[in-house]
Structure 1
Amino acid sequence: MSHTVVMTGATRGIGRVAVERLVGENRNGHFVLLGRSPGVAALADELGAGGSPVRWIEADLLSLASVRAASGRLRALLEEKELPPLRTLVANAGRQFTDARHETAEGFEATFAINVLANHVLIRRLEDLFETPARIVITVSDTHFGDFKHNLGMVPGPRWRAPDELARVGAFPRPGTVAAGRTAYSTSKLAAIHLVHEYARRLPSGLDVVSYNPAFVPGTDLARDANAVARFAMRRVLPALALTPLATGRKVAGGCLADVALGRVDAPTGSYVDRAEVVRSSGESYDPARERELWDAVEDLTAPYRR
């Protein structure tokens, strides 16, 4: 039966692998890619050249106003039956910066804005349009564990603060350092997992939401804001780790993301999926009181962009 699949973060890295799999193996899917042109436009044209229905909507996920506009356009297409019923949302877009001083035009810390707030606006603006059974997949990171096993000493563990602080520049010591930027990243991914647990409690029955962890995937553009040496290592040296248990290759990680989105991985709502296996996320990530506090905060912060 025809249905709509919406995806962010499809133009590069594991998202590019995943969307190619989704388009190739989901013959009933109508695909809507959210992102910035010209990259997302070129990808939609390429994927649609084989006859699959693929369109794109301009969306800068570092701007909640842009996310609101994009979701409004998507709502109109769904409500006017120009698209079949919405069944899948893959929220794969994410950023990691070289410091914690990047601020969006709307006054939010950039890492938290794209990794947490943008997803919240998108989900809340679309939740009433899903036709169940449906699934939301949010790409997270095992850096939220904060130990050497999961981050190889490259990313500091999360440092939780009040959500209103995390959403603004200055939440972490020495904000101009790479360590602060990476701490902002791991903390934002912990926040995303917290929200998945809260979404699972609050979203309508039949609309499942899961976290997807690709593990460490060298060779992507996640660290595209890093210095030249770090970029060279990520693209040319560290990919060799994918031949060991310490890392995951881009094709494997993207393929697993597609399988989770397609429902091939049996993952109850609220689950944490590590590649193709449902496991427990960190002990810190299970905190209902913190999750409610975070929900209340992001509801307040995003209220102007959800109307």
Structure 2
Amino acid sequence: MGSLTSSSAVAGDPCFIVGRAPVPFSDSPPTHYTLKIESFSLLKNWPDGFESEEFKAGGYEWKLVLYPNGNKEKNVKDHISVCLKMAGADLLQPGWEVFVDFRLFLLDQNKGIYLVLKDENINKMCFHAAMLDASFDRVIPLEAFTDPSNGYLVGDTCVFGAEVFVCKERRRGKEECITLNARLTFKHPWRIEKFSKLKYEWIESKPFNAVGMKWKLVLYPKGRFGGKGNYVALYLALVDPKSLSPGSKILTEVTCRIINHEGHGDHFVRKGKHLFSTSGSF
């Protein structure tokens, strides 16, 4: 992974240094991509970095990977880390190289301007098969980022952006808004009669409402994929994923229980996390 490292700054200090040059500010939003995150605090326990949707710039597809507590693989702590990742590189011709001028943006919501980060020591980043990403390991100290007076995290909302220039080509990208609602607990029982006589590959529960959306449970009595024939598979799914607004996502923490009705022994419990989007996967 390529690394673009900015030096530390203290809360309230408006000047950040990347390489040896002061970081500029911009009144204009980023050209190619904007990522707005609401309820940022709910991402604190995200394990491996949060990946954005893909966006296009310079004829290629990219993603931003956000590490709310720093990239642990780089031993970064107490800082925000952000990585630019090339998507769909497996479709490119062998021996390809792409030279990129990457700029990262962070909105100061108090002043309505963007902090613009780039590495002045590297004119162009070279992406190739052995290097598919480049990172700002220490974008900003968490102490400075979470201080509302600095404007970067206000009302638990922040805005990042990216500009990726390839061969000086410019094109307008898309925007994405991620809303993570405060944790809401909802329980839904599903009683299945005559389980051993089920003949269908899968069955669905009746739709039920939770957090303003319609959901359903999907059961594969004989399992699915690698567990087929050996396990029971149970999923939570959105009834109508297309009803979500474009680019929106719902982060869920799901606990599935198979109840022991005989009154002795433990219930069978499995837990997991999933981001639901318009793709409708579960």
TM-score of the aligned structures, taking structure 2 as reference length: 0.27
> Over alpha carbons, which structure has the higher Rg?
2
Normalised to the residue count of structure 1, the TM-score between the two structures is 0.25
